[in-house]
């Protein structure tokens, strides 16, 4: 991977089944076969090599007002199990925006599937009743937030720092579409916010590629799908998944953090009204 691949190469989808990498080696790659990687027998061809210049970059550059004057935007980030990711973004909200506990917006949830919500408008964790199972609906675990647009790059940097050599922290544990890497922004890959993501990748060592998410996407190592939050909105997760301890052994957060879910519920926040997980509070009792 090289730094020169961070030109704003953003185009429309040419095929309903295309896996579109929006930056790679200073060019745009589109795989027209069903699978997303050449190792799976797909065919890669190169588009528009070297024709994007600074004038297009300036066209895509977002114009932001001061954070205090901005209307907040809805975004989400997915990177494996949402427990650890939520904690990291809670800390980011505090550090970047100076938010108090009452002002925190990071919530564990689900997004990225074509099916949207299930029966009764629900998206649920795995449960014995098999009601609106997020995996069956094509969703992945994510953390949603409301942030000022001018701070998106700061939050994106925090996100891409979760990766090590392009791999998410639980890459060899939680695998599959439910844990795939994805970022939801208004407008998706055709939005000026996509250029902000590319800048954040450059800042954090050029570890991953961005691809245009079509919904129900595969879990591909070192690839992060860009989702349009209008087409692929996020769905709130259950209360018992909010502000949970991390997935790693010994990753126990303080009670002041774990207790935030109850505080928000008592304040009137409506979490998902789904059945409990298979063993009461989640698969395996988690």
Query: In CATH, what number is assigned to the domain containing residue 189?
Result: 3.30.1060
Q: Is residue 57 classed exposed, middle or buried when 0-12, 13-18 and 19+ CB atoms within 10 A define those classes?
A: middle
Instruction: Tell me the C-alpha distance between 186 and 167, whole Å.
Output: 25
- The pLDDT, as a whole number, for residue 10 is 36
For residue 237, tell me if it sits in a domain: yes
Residues in Cβ contact with 121 at an 8 Å cutoff, skipping those fewer than 6 apart: none
Based on the fold, state whether residues 198 and 112 are members of the same structural domain: yes
Based on the fold, state whether residues 43 and 127 are members of the same structural domain: no
Note the pLDDT tens digit of each residue in 250-280.
889 999 999 999 999 999 999 988 988 754 4
Based on the fold, state whether residues 140 and 275 are members of the same structural domain: yes
For residue 63, tell me if it sits in a domain: no
Instruction: Tell me the C-alpha distance between 139 and 254, whole Å.
Output: 29
Residue 183 has pLDDT above 90, yes or no: yes
- The pLDDT, as a whole number, for residue 66 is 56
- The pLDDT, as a whole number, for residue 167 is 93
- The pLDDT, as a whole number, for residue 285 is 34
For residue 96, tell me if it sits in a domain: yes
Q: How confident is the model at residue 89 (pLDDT cuts 50, 70, 90)?
A: very high
Based on the fold, state whether residues 234 and 130 are members of the same structural domain: yes
Note the pLDDT tens digit of each residue in 117-169.
998 889 999 998 889 999 999 999 999 999 999 999 999 999 999 999 999 98
Predicted model pTM: 0.78
| Domain housing 131 | 71-285
Residue 235 has pLDDT above 80, yes or no: yes
The number of folded domains in the chain is 2
- The pLDDT, as a whole number, for residue 35 is 37
């Amino acid at each position: 991977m090289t730094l020169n691949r961070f030109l704003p190469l953003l185009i429309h989808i040419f095929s309903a089944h295309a896996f579109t990498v929006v930056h790679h080696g200073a060019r745009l790659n589109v795989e027209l076969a069903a699978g997303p990687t050449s190792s799976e027998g797909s065919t890669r061809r190169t588009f528009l090599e070297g024709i994007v210049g600074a004038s297009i970059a300036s066209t895509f550059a977002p114009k932001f007002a001061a954070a205090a004057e901005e209307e907040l935007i809805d975004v989400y980030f997915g990177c494996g199990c949402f427990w650890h990711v939520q904690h990291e973004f809670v800390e980011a909200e505090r550090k970047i925006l100076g938010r108090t506990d009452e002002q925190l917006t990071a919530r564990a949830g689900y997004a990225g599937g074509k099916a949207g919500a299930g029966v009764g408008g629900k998206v649920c964790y795995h449960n014995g009743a098999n009601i609106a199972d997020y995996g069956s609906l094509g969703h992945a675990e994510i953390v949603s937030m409301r942030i000022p647009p001018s701070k998106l790059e700061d939050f994106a940097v925090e996100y891409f720092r979760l990766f090590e050599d392009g791999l998410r922290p639980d890459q060899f544990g939680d695998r599959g579409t439910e844990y795939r890497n994805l970022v939801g922004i208004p407008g998706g890959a055709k939005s000026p916010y996509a250029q902000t993501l590319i800048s954040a990748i450059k800042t954090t060592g050029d570890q991953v590629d961005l691809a245009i998410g079509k919904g129900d996407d595969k879990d591909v190592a070192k690839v992060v799908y860009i989702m349009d939050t209008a087409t692929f909105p996020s769905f709130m997760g259950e209360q018992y998944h909010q502000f949970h301890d991390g997935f790693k052994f010994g990753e126990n957060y303080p009670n002041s953090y774990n207790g935030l879910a109850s505080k928000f519920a008592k304040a009137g926040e409506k979490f998902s009204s789904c059945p409990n997980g298979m063993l009461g509070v989640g698969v395996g009792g988690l």
